[in-house]
Amino acid sequence: KLDGIYTRYHLQDYHQLRQDFFKLKLQGANITLPFKEAALEMADVKDELASNIGSANTLCLKDGKIYAYNTDALGFLEAIKEFESINKALILGAGGTALALAFALKQKGVEVCVANRSEKRFKDFTLYKTSLYNALDDFDFDLVVNSTSAGLKDDDLPCDKILLDKILSRAKFAFDVIYGKETSFLKLCKEHNLKVKDGFDMFLWQAVFAFELFFDVKDKREKIK
């Protein structure tokens, strides 16, 4: 039996993150956008994976020090285990989530290309091939990932439908980080007969890995599956 409380807390200013962590006498915390980069910066000890990704979504207190971790990447890899033979992947969007997913795939030996509407965030993706949507010249990918918010509160696609049709006609798998609804992106992927997954399993598994860090336990993962 575990003794603890898990609840929400609205952080007003990222400068208060460390102060509020100790003020609330927390033993651990999950951090959401837009504070993941700040969470990594304020930590005393940074996990190697979180450091490489450049953001943290999980904080733990150990011996008076705040440790920072990123379980998004681990959750993503667990979620796509049923997708086999992924050699090349295209990630749509270039935000913090895209960076975590790109690093996770690269660690598994997957060739990654990141496509976005603007070049502004490409400075964070120097380890990967990058392209503007309208300049993409490679359309052969096993896996296509939507890491953008397109479809979350609307029926938008992450990029032009003509471009997506060209990409999806050659792909095998599709993943959308959004969950709780079938996005226009996933609907289009199904029209191309791709095997698809939304972001629920990624959300579930990142929470499982965070739980294990909070309580220093290995939960019964087979039972969860």
Q: 34 preceded by cis ω (within 30°)? A: yes
193 and 209 in a single domain? The answer is no
For residue 40, what is the domain's CATH number?
3.40.50.10860
50 and 111 in a single domain? The answer is no
Burial track 23-59 (b if 16+ CB lie within 10 A, e otherwise): eeeeebbbbeeebbbbbbebbeebbebbebbbbbbbb
For residue 159, what is the domain's CATH number?
3.40.50.720
Tell me what percent of the chain is helix, strand and coil, each rounded to the nearest 5. Answer: 40, 20, 45
Other Cβ atoms closer than 10 A to 115: 24
Tokens 């979504």 sit on residue:
57
**Which residues span the domain enclosing 166?**
83-199
94 and 194 in a single domain? The answer is yes
- Assessment of whether the complete model's pTM goes beyond 0.85: yes
Q: pLDDT digits over 90-127, tens only?
A: 999 998 899 999 999 999 999 999 999 999 999 999 99
* Ranges in the chain, pLDDT < 70: 219-225
Calpha distance 109→127 (Å, rounded): 13
Average pLDDT, the chain: 94
194 and 144 in a single domain? The answer is yes
158 and 126 in a single domain? The answer is yes
Residue 122 in tokens:
């490409």
Calpha distance 108→142 (Å, rounded): 14
State residue 218's pLDDT score. 79
State residue 222's pLDDT score. 67
Calpha distance 43→154 (Å, rounded): 36
Share of the chain above pLDDT 70, in %: 97
State residue 225's pLDDT score. 61
Can you tell me whether residue 119 is helix, strand or coil? coil
State residue 224's pLDDT score. 64
Domain contains 4 = no
Domain contains 5 = no
Our count of domains for the chain comes to 2
State residue 217's pLDDT score. 84
Calpha distance 202→195 (Å, rounded): 16
59 and 153 in a single domain? The answer is no
**Active-site residue, selected from the candidate residues 1, 25, 36, 120:** 36
The sheet with strand 28-30 has its strands ordered as 28-30, 58-62, 65-69, 45-46
Who contacts 124 (Cβ-Cβ below 8 Å, separation ≥6)? 54, 94, 99
Is residue 81 annotated as a catalytic residue, yes or no?
Answer: no
H or E segment to which residue 131 belongs: strand 129-132
97 and 174 in a single domain? The answer is yes
Calpha distance 205→195 (Å, rounded): 20
Domain contains 1 = no
